[in-house]
Amino acid sequence: MRCLMINPAMLNRIRMVTVLTVSLIVFSALRCGAVSTPPQITIVFRYDDYSSRSATDLERHLIATFQKHGVCCTFGIIPFVKAVNYLDVQPQAGMPLTPAKAEMARNAIKAGAMDAAQHGYSHQTLQSKPGVWHTSYAGLDYDSQLYKIRTGKVFLDEILHTKITTFIPPFNSYDTNTLRALEELDFQCLSANLSG
């Protein structure tokens, strides 16, 4: 008997694809009238960390699945992902979203399979203490937050040929300065924990 070794990251991807597939089947059944009771809730699919470093093959598969079922998913796109490790507070180069990833996103948006959202600036944490809640924004002064959010938004608006109006803070963490900056930049939706 042979044993198949699956690393934790792959296991999480398998779980995510399984949940997504089951959800799409239920959603499709509701849309097609297979279930007589109309849906009473709104389901929002969200996929975070789309970037130059993310799993392109997985994302291509997700987009194709959403497109096949006529369903849209909100993709949290990192404009300038950190090149090494987003949990390391040390300065490191940022990698802008590549033209190939931008083209894939533009095509998905046109097909109605993707709603593009800004997922921070670089997704780098401000703190590195073990057991401490990570954040890229909470506790950062207003001007720094405004600069990072504006720079990421301008970049994504240009490269994706769309206007980004949804913001997803990395680690779902934000504060009142984040809210002020989002209002200043005309964001319409914040997708995060209520507590910030």
Cβ–Cβ < 8 Å for 81, 124:
no
Same domain as 185, residue 170:
yes
State pLDDT tens for residues 160-189: 999 999 999 999 999 999 999 999 999 999
- Domain with 69 in it: what CATH number? 3.20.20.370
Same domain as 94, residue 17:
no
Q: How many domains, in total, are found in the chain?
A: 2
Residue 196 located in a structural domain: no
State pLDDT tens for residues 118-148: 999 999 888 765 665 788 998 899 999 999 9
pLDDT of residue 8: 55
State pLDDT tens for residues 151-162: 999 999 999 999
Same domain as 28, residue 52:
no
Q: State the number of CA atoms in the 13 A half-sphere of 155 facing the CB.
A: 23
Cβ–Cβ < 8 Å for 22, 68:
no
Neighbours of 138 (CB within 10 A): 19
Same domain as 150, residue 75:
yes
Residue 118 located in a structural domain: yes
Same domain as 103, residue 158:
yes
- Residue 32 sits in which domain range? 7-43
Strand partners, 73: 45, 114
State pLDDT tens for residues 24-75: 666 666 666 555 666 677 788 999 999 999 999 999 999 999 999 999 999 9
pLDDT category of residue 111 using cuts at 50, 70 and 90: very high
Q: And the tokens for 168?
A: 């997803």
Same domain as 109, residue 13:
no
Same domain as 129, residue 112:
yes
Same domain as 73, residue 33:
no
Question: pTM for this one?
Answer: 0.79
Rg (CA), the chain: 18
Residue 60 located in a structural domain: yes
Residue whose C-alpha is closest to residue 153's, from 124, 128, 188: 188
pLDDT of residue 2: 45
Q: Phi and psi at residue 112, in whole multiples of 5°?
A: 80, 15
